[in-house]
Structure 1
């Protein structure tokens, strides 16, 4: 991976999020099984003080909850708030307007921090409305969730980088945070000697474009999230925290093979503000939500 960028690495505009809650912290620790260990325990005996993820930084990416949301959007948000989640990433509205979702979020005490919006929408005439909807939701960041397969070439990703800078400039002019990009495994492929994802990191303006790093897909694609945090500071305000089962499938956070304690040691350098839980195919979304929250609330790194 190359570490040089032709842009400044000064941090972009970021918003402060919800503060910590001692009550939620106590509830989360109580929910974690007595005597249970986390992957952090093997790494806390270092010269670094152990950190906790701020409670206001633990969120749920709502794609995980798509089935219950389709049945009862408001009730699902209520249950997430009861578990202890402070924030959500919006991914699909299930027939609700941005204003309607905002009312439900306000009623449950949750806060939207971002919304996934299709690349073609953001690069086309729908950009203005998409940015207005972000304001309505109270969210900071528009996020491109994926890119068409045909663009997965060095030339294609350079074209995307130019578009990202343009969209990011529009977001800033609209009073929002940076445009973010959510990765999948194929975004980390090496094509003609170049790592595609690195093209986006290196050829976008850090003031305008950041990344919502999906740590599962990064690992699946052969990338090292911690290395990105160090080599490209302040570029990663949000994470998708998704665990990997031994067979390579998805797992509840803390029940799989990824070493989150080691991975997050340099998260502060990377600029991480939001740790958004995600599971692409949960058997029981609420069980996944409970298990994953309890693990992240108890994690020392």
Structure 2
């Protein structure tokens, strides 16, 4: 399968599918109604899987404005909405221990924390890993790479550093180091897809990926359905972020990305956490409610 060609199918399938359905309804003959009903019933029966409640989380970058004003209160409201887990991204002056205490009080669980590349590759790594343990989380995540590293040589250097840090994470009793993608990470430079370099040249036992499906779509990356099958168990966490028709951010479930299609092979990819994210929410709590409601009701 040509994954580059197929990528737009899952990402933009919702919008294209809606248009195709409308055309089909207009053109269909009455004699085809029974066959269409059977096909619909079969599709509905197949979409019986759901995201486990323990897997629906919020990436806290979405909530950075209310967190800065009231960290514990914001966590409490997320728990009231129904969220079970969070991804930590910015502590707003709190220590790892203080955040853990607030999480425990609000009955939320941290599953990962974003830590800068320079820290991960430098002398700050041991403390960062200890903080992950204090938070009660499993994964340390590199959120991005410096722009100057967006060359094949730069990504090969990053792969080597990720393998080292992943080994340190394993020795600390944690899960593999994860990398979070942005659109530029999927570009082709000198004939090589940068993201593919990381997939090929990192040790699957030491390094995994927190796939941001919006940025993979924006960057023209592979269809998650294909990634999950071709690189099994390497995607324990996702950033579930939707795209509006113009390519901007949208609340999860309100945009054009076909999440049911892209999650179809999530089990093969080893996905355990579906973390809602919106980079610029007008109303963070409305975005949180919308995202949770959509993922809790999704069948695929």
Post-superposition offset of 1:225:
1.6
Post-superposition offset of 1:226:
1.5
Q: TM-score, normalised by structure 1?
A: 0.85
Alignment partners' CA distance in 1, 2:45 and 2:282: 40
8 Å Cα contact 1:61-1:276 kept in structure 2 = yes
C-alpha RMSD of the superposition: 1.7
Alignment partners' CA distance in 1, 2:107 and 2:132: 18
Residue 165 of structure 1 corresponds to: 163
Q: Structure 1, residues 38-78: CA drift from partner, whole Å, max 9, x if none?
A: xxx97971774520100000000000000000000000000
Q: Structure 2 vs 1, CA of residues 43 and 205 (structure 1 numbering), >3 Å: closer, same or farther?
A: farther
Alignment coverage as a number of residue pairs = 264
Gap regions ≥5 residues in structure 2: 4-38
Three-state SS of the structure 1 residue aligned to 2:264 is: helix
Alignment partners' CA distance in 2, 1:197 and 1:127: 23
Q: How does 1:92-111 map to 2 (within 5 A)?
A: 92-111=90-109
Residue 153 of structure 2 corresponds to: 155
Q: How does 1:1-301 map to 2 (within 5 A)?
A: 45=43, 48=46, 50-223=48-221, 224-301=223-300
Structure whose CA Rg is larger: 2
Residue 15 of structure 2 corresponds to: none
8 Å Cα contact 2:47-2:299 kept in structure 1 = no
Post-superposition offset of 1:220:
0.5
Three-state SS of the structure 1 residue aligned to 2:57 is: strand
Three-state SS of the structure 2 residue aligned to 1:114 is: strand
Alignment partners' CA distance in 1, 2:86 and 2:272: 13
Three-state SS of the structure 2 residue aligned to 1:258 is: coil
Gap regions ≥5 residues in structure 1: 4-40
8 Å Cα contact 1:243-1:256 kept in structure 2 = yes
Q: Structure 2 vs 1, CA of residues 241 and 190 (structure 1 numbering), >3 Å: closer, same or farther?
A: same
Q: Which runs of 4+ in 1 moved over 6 A?
A: 41-44
Three-state SS of the structure 1 residue aligned to 2:43 is: coil
Q: Structure 1, residues 172-217: CA drift from partner, whole Å, max 9, x if none?
A: 0011110000000000000111100000011000000000000000
Q: Structure 2 vs 1, CA of residues 52 and 155 (structure 1 numbering), >3 Å: closer, same or farther?
A: same
Bigger drift between 223-232 and 211-220 goes to: 223-232
Q: Structure 1, residues 56-111: CA drift from partner, whole Å, max 9, x if none?
A: 00000000000000000000000000000000000000000000000000000000
Q: TM-score, normalised by structure 2?
A: 0.86
Q: Structure 2 vs 1, CA of residues 88 and 180 (structure 1 numbering), >3 Å: closer, same or farther?
A: same
Alignment partners' CA distance in 1, 2:115 and 2:124: 10
Alignment partners' CA distance in 2, 1:290 and 1:96: 25
Alignment partners' CA distance in 2, 1:79 and 1:99: 20
Three-state SS of the structure 1 residue aligned to 2:208 is: strand
Alignment partners' CA distance in 2, 1:193 and 1:300: 38
Q: Structure 2 vs 1, CA of residues 240 and 42 (structure 1 numbering), >3 Å: closer, same or farther?
A: farther
Residue 32 of structure 1 corresponds to: none
